Structure 1
Amino acid sequence: MKSALIALFLRSLNSLPRRLHRGLHDEPSHKRDPLERRRSGLGGFRPPILAVLMLAIALPASAALPVERIRLPPGFHIEVLSDEVPSVREMALSPNGILYAGSLDGHVYALELRDGRVTARHVIASGLDDPAGVAWHDGALYVSAVSRILRYDAIDSHLNDPPKPVIINDKLPPEHHHGWKFIAFGPDGKLYVPQGAPCNICKPDPDRYAMLGRMDPDGSHYETIERGIRNTVGFAWQPGNHELWFTDNGRDLLGDDVPDDKLNHAPRAGMNFGYPYCHGGDTSDPEFGKEHPCSDFTPPAVKLGAHVASLGMRFYTGSMFPSDYRDNIFIAEHGSWNRSKKSGYRVVRIITNPDGSSAHQEVFAQGWLMPDESTWGRPDDVLPLSDGSLLISDDYAGAIYRVTYAAP
């Protein structure tokens, strides 16, 4: 009975304005910890009375996330690492075991980890402009905030008194449409920073939008390296050969089943992946497609499915999971918003040969999307830990999950 009431309550939250789920509130975001605002009244929104009564009956404090609904391969187990990270997005881990998390509610979080558990939680930045991306490099945390890249030096030792950030670049495009950014340092020591198209479909400046760029750690020498990318929200480098792979979200409003989101493989700089002329590798754009055929562009390594919203991705290099998972790519699928039947809302793994050939996907974790098409979570990033477990962030639930494995 208790779990049923929790599920009903969570479904009722789907009817609330999206503003609540993004963690935006009437009070300015820099005034208070968003978790405290959430505890003190759901940021000013009042859910339906029936849902409130159900919640009071089921759990006097707060509703536990129904992780038992997540289906995984045999031997795998998922648990909630933390449900105190509102609107969480990209994650990054420091060598000292500090887990940093960006968000879409203006805050950057730090979670101290020990033995797979959170021992302390900190808000290290507030009032930022969609600080979704975080990357660790040489003792500092880098944060993307739409038009700016910020650096927090020696942050591990200053979690309670964060330093004033160094602005390393403040000349990125200011548009919010595809403007928040996943960021990462590559094997070349450069910070990779994408810029999505400022629209669903348009023909923007190819050196400024719909591209992936990189810069030196001090923000200098920013250059475009790959083009024709509508919006990448996850990329990583293949172990061994250090070749780049990245997700790319397909355009909307062409139909339920076209075009596919893509996993792209870029073994060298200077490639073009088709936007805005070609989508999914084989779908010519009705407005711009006549200018260039799909054969002019690099095809995807894997078609991920239409509107699944493929976001964060990482290669798994740990030893906890079975050996056939090693060097697989894990991808978080945030889920569709404009499809008559929802898709995504899961984590998939990509199996590929060392040379990148014969790549194909399998479902790894699913259950955030219910049979009645209500949802209680939306995965948006994945991150392997040094112990071999895998973290999954979920902005909808404001949670981070930890997946472990023990032979059945």
Structure 2
Amino acid sequence: MKKVFSFLSIGFLFAVPCLANPYADTINAGLSLPKGFEASKVSDGIGRIRHLLVTPEGVIYARTSRLYKGNGILKMTAQNGDGKIDKVEGFSNYTGTGIALKDGYLYASSDDEVFRYKLNAKNEVIDAEHPEKIITGLWNKRQHESKSIALDNNGNIYVNIGAPSNSCQEVDRGNGSKGRMPCPILDSAGGIWMFKADKLNQSYAQGVRYATGLRNVVGLDWNTQSNSLFVMQHGRDNLLQDWPQYFDAEQSAELPSECMYELKKGDNAGWPYIYYNQILHKKMLAPEYGGDGKTESPRAKDFIEPVVAFPGHLAPNGLLFYTGNMFPEKYRNGAFIAFHGSWNRAPMPQEGYYVVFVPFKNGKPSGKWEVFANGFSGVKVVNATRQAEHRPCGLAQGPDGSLYVSDDNKGTIYRITYSGK
């Protein structure tokens, strides 16, 4: 049975033809935004919201990393006409990250399985207690265990299976520990697997390793212009801690790049054998496999190039291609990325905790990336992750073209609109 709670601290705005957001917070919910944009908090303190979606009817479905009042999926609706959500329904007894809506089904992942729920004509779950289990038995080794998902338009679902390792060392994160060759993790993790979206009880045997050499992907989205999958990889850590003879503190903080990749079937991004240096624009030989921080991998041509390379350790957790009409033309079909924020850039300040935008044209990046929404952390300088009040995680597009950003630290959901004023 669905559990229903009422809260006054959550808000949601239905589409309004005048474009302006009448409920925008006076200081844009603490965020700094480009001119003409406004922000408001549409929820606060409701679980630890990971990924989320908004239905055509304006209902939010959100996943939580911890059970909230016994539930891992929250359905949030507004009924009283003032833009504030006053009804929250919860269901599912498993936590997780991935959630998607496609062809009459709501898809949701735990850390080792993927389920789907049949929807009615109003995109409401028909039977919350009896979902169909479509994928089971995926690796969950308590490191990079979240299973993010995306669906294409040909009946396939793509699942990230993160590597339970930093760089496939003999001793994980061990000082000077060599990398295992070949890396045995890649058989079952460290990549994207493709399954059928409508077939029940699939396991590795029924899936296809679509792309490999990806340490961990939390943000991914299907680009309808290029008809291809784009992903954001979390780059490896501990260059200074494990290899101080090759890297100083500044290099370890800035490297390696957090990379956006466009994936085709059979692609290999190179983890753990290489890392990408966004300063040199080269695929470097990882120190675990004989690198010294200066040597390009002799196998560089075997691995795909990133389409965008960001600074290190920003932790990209959300990726969304914007297809709405509310925002100005420059944002149309471009990519928004939610950076969760770093933890291992010390002694330099931590970085991230913002949403960036990458312009696209014809399915390809067409300009430099820029910070779009900042201020989530609530402090000017973050020296330790615990200082950050909010950490962006998921992204969703509303039926009116507004942008939603989730925070998995305090359970806040932000809504960003454009009025042009």
Distance 1:162 1:353, change over 3 A: closer
Alignment match, 1:378: 391
* SS of equivalent to 1:252: coil
- Which range moves more in the overlay, 205-214 or 288-297? 288-297
Once the two structures are superposed, what CA deviation does each residue of 1:314-342 show, in whole Å capped at 9, x if it has no partner? 11111111111111100000000111211
Alignment match, 1:246: 231
1:352 aligns with 2:348: no
Separation (CA, whole Å) in 2 of partners of 1:330 and 1:157: 25
TM-score by length of 2: 0.76
2:38 to 62, 77, 80: 77
Alignment match, 2:341: 335
- Matched to 2:40, the amino acid is E
Once the two structures are superposed, what CA deviation does each residue of 1:123-174 show, in whole Å capped at 9, x if it has no partner? 1223x1x321112223222211111112222376766972322222222112
- Matched to 2:88, the amino acid is R
Alignment match, 2:60: 99
Alignment match, 2:419: 406
Alignment match, 2:261: 264
Separation (CA, whole Å) in 2 of partners of 1:323 and 1:347: 18
Deviation at 1:358, TM superposition (A): 4.2
TM-score by length of 1: 0.78
* SS of equivalent to 1:233: strand
1:176 aligns with 2:127: no
Alignment match, 1:226: 211
Separation (CA, whole Å) in 2 of partners of 1:232 and 1:372: 27
- Matched to 1:97, the amino acid is G
1:120 to 65, 73, 87: 87
- Which range moves more in the overlay, 290-299 or 323-332? 290-299
1:288 aligns with 2:297: no
Unpaired runs of 5+ residues, structure 2, are: 8-24, 169-182, 240-251, 277-281, 292-296
Alignment match, 2:189: 209
Deviation at 1:262, TM superposition (A): 0.7
Deviation at 1:209, TM superposition (A): 0.7
Deviation at 1:303, TM superposition (A): 1.0
Separation (CA, whole Å) in 2 of partners of 1:296 and 1:161: 47
Separation (CA, whole Å) in 2 of partners of 1:140 and 1:110: 14
CA contact (8 A) 2:54 2:399 kept: no
Separation (CA, whole Å) in 2 of partners of 1:357 and 1:313: 14
1:133 aligns with 2:98: yes
- Which range moves more in the overlay, 382-391 or 64-73? 64-73
Q: CA RMSD in A?
A: 2.8
- Matched to 1:282, the amino acid is K
- Matched to 1:188, the amino acid is N
Alignment match, 1:143: 108
CA contact (8 A) 1:87 1:104 kept: yes
RCO (CA 8 Å, sep 6+): is it higher in 1 or 2?
2
Distance 1:319 1:113, change over 3 A: farther
- Which range moves more in the overlay, 82-91 or 308-317? 82-91
1:325 aligns with 2:325: no
CA contact (8 A) 2:194 2:207 kept: yes
Deviation at 1:178, TM superposition (A): 0.9
- Matched to 1:170, the amino acid is T
* SS of equivalent to 2:271: coil
Distance 1:93 1:68, change over 3 A: closer
* SS of equivalent to 2:309: strand
Distance 1:227 1:398, change over 3 A: same
Alignment match, 2:410: 397
CA contact (8 A) 1:277 1:289 kept: no
Separation (CA, whole Å) in 2 of partners of 1:395 and 1:285: 32
CA contact (8 A) 1:258 1:283 kept: no
* SS of equivalent to 2:41: strand
Separation (CA, whole Å) in 1 of partners of 2:290 and 2:112: 30
Separation (CA, whole Å) in 1 of partners of 2:212 and 2:373: 31
Unpaired runs of 5+ residues, structure 1, are: 1-31, 37-63
Deviation at 1:80, TM superposition (A): 0.6
- Matched to 1:243, the amino acid is S
Separation (CA, whole Å) in 2 of partners of 1:90 and 1:225: 22
Separation (CA, whole Å) in 2 of partners of 1:303 and 1:388: 27
- How many residue pairs match? The answer is 349
Alignment match, 1:273: 269
Deviation at 1:100, TM superposition (A): 1.0
CA contact (8 A) 2:50 2:97 kept: yes
Separation (CA, whole Å) in 1 of partners of 2:350 and 2:30: 17
CA contact (8 A) 2:359 2:365 kept: no
- Matched to 1:279, the amino acid is Y
Separation (CA, whole Å) in 1 of partners of 2:321 and 2:363: 14
Alignment match, 2:117: 152
Separation (CA, whole Å) in 2 of partners of 1:201 and 1:333: 21
